Amino acid sequence: MLFFLAGFELDRAIMVGQYGRAAAGAWLVSMALSLGAVGLLDADGFVRACLPIAIALTTTALGILLPMLRDAGEHRGPFGRAMLANGAVGELFPIIAISVFLSRRGTWAALALLLVFGALAYAVSRIATGLRGRSISELIQRGSETSSQTTVRFAVLLLVALLLVSGRLGLDAILGAFAAGIVLRVARPDGDRALEHKLNGRAFGFFIPAFFVVSGMQLDIDSILKDPGRMLVFFVLMVAMRGLPVLVIFRRWFPGTEALRMALYSATGLPLIVAITAIGLQTGVMRPDNAAALVGAGLLTVIILPMTARLIPHRAVDIAPDATADIVPATE
């Protein structure tokens, strides 16, 4: 549900705009820096799995940040669009990297399956687009406020279908969830406030808290207590590897403390880190102590970084509805 809702928030206009391009560039810089830093740790014997850890250091927990940004009214305006671009890239690019490089299949086979899945998801989105304005679409919409709850059922059906497809292809489930959210956004390009409200209620009222409870139950506390410094090293690396490129690149549009706040938000990660460490442990390429330390560091980012960003003095939020404003520097 976290990745499904994050995919649903993805706006093509933002991703192809200059904020989207800048976010992609920041992530690529983060990945290059992470590979270099983890390579040094590997040479020192601190880690064993370079690529999974490097990917984990570049993630952004968009699904966690979205309700925080909404509650603060920061999901709109130039800052909100730039933050959404960084969050989407910080989830989408690591998901693709996981699917290609951490698959049990060969890299080329995983890439081919990823392309097949992308084609299937695109076909589903075209079908959803073709249904807009037709009688079946009107029938679904009419039942949305009845006991049938047709729009919610359609959304869940879409999510389950793409989860099954991604599983059958041997891809990670989070890719299917994220793709389902994107397809739903294509089907409802202008959004659907009532549907979003219902999905958020189900997600944040039950499924997402359950995810964090289970993640907490699986956390190896003993390993962290034996070597807390390892967790702190990963925490510092997450802030530096993910936050610094965002800070440097986005200072062009957001001077002063705004870019710093965006960097702190962007360095917040946990759900993908949990997924990456689970894959690393299943395949045997990641040591249990590093997996526990990574998850612990991700938890620290969720607890510390958004709260710190909120405490930093900042300008009033611009809630102008102009979707094209992301191509104009915020200082103009």
- Tell me, yes or no, whether 327 lies in a domain: no
Query: Does residue 190 carry a pLDDT above 70?
Result: no
The single-letter code of the amino acid at 224 is I
- Tell me, yes or no, whether 321 lies in a domain: no
- Tell me, yes or no, whether 139 lies in a domain: yes
Using an 8 Å Cβ cutoff, are 268 and 302 in contact? yes
For 103-145, the pLDDT digits (tens) are: 666 667 777 888 888 888 888 877 766 666 554 555 556 656 6
Higher per-residue confidence, 297 vs 199 = 297
Half-sphere exposure of 230 (CA within 13 A, CB side): 22
Q: What CATH number did the domain enclosing 46 receive?
A: 1.20.1530.20
- CA 34 to chain centroid, in Å, comes to 18
Query: Does residue 329 carry a pLDDT above 50?
Result: no
Residue 246 CA to residue 19 CA, distance in Å, equals: 11
Give the pLDDT score at 208.
83
pTM beyond cutoff 0.85 = no
3-state secondary structure of 17: coil
3-state secondary structure of 148: coil
Query: Does residue 312 carry a pLDDT above 90?
Result: no
Q: Using H for helix, E for strand and C for coil, what is the string for 79-147? A: HHHHHHHHHHHHHHHHHHHHHHHCCCCCHHHHHHHHHHHHHHHHHHHHHHHHHCCCHHHHHHHHHHHCC
The mean pLDDT of 199-204, rounded to a whole number, is 84
- Tell me, yes or no, whether 332 lies in a domain: no
List Cβ<8 Å contacts ≥24 apart for 209-217. 211/1, 211/2, 211/271, 215/270, 215/274, 215/295
- Tell me, yes or no, whether 329 lies in a domain: no
3-state secondary structure of 165: helix
Would you say how long the chain is, in residues? Answer: 332
Place of tokens 């103009």: 332
Which residue in 90, 103, 105, 117 sits closest to 52, CA to CA? 103
Which residue in 24, 97, 25, 27 sits closest to 242, CA to CA? 27
3-state secondary structure of 18: helix
Residues of the domain holding 18:
2-315
Q: How many domains does the chain have?
A: 1
- Tell me, yes or no, whether 181 lies in a domain: yes
Using an 8 Å Cβ cutoff, are 111 and 102 in contact? no
DSSP H or E segment with residue 5: helix 2-8
- CA 109 to chain centroid, in Å, comes to 24
- Tell me, yes or no, whether 303 lies in a domain: yes
- Tell me, yes or no, whether 123 lies in a domain: yes
pLDDT band at 265 (very low <50, low <70, confident <90, very high): very high
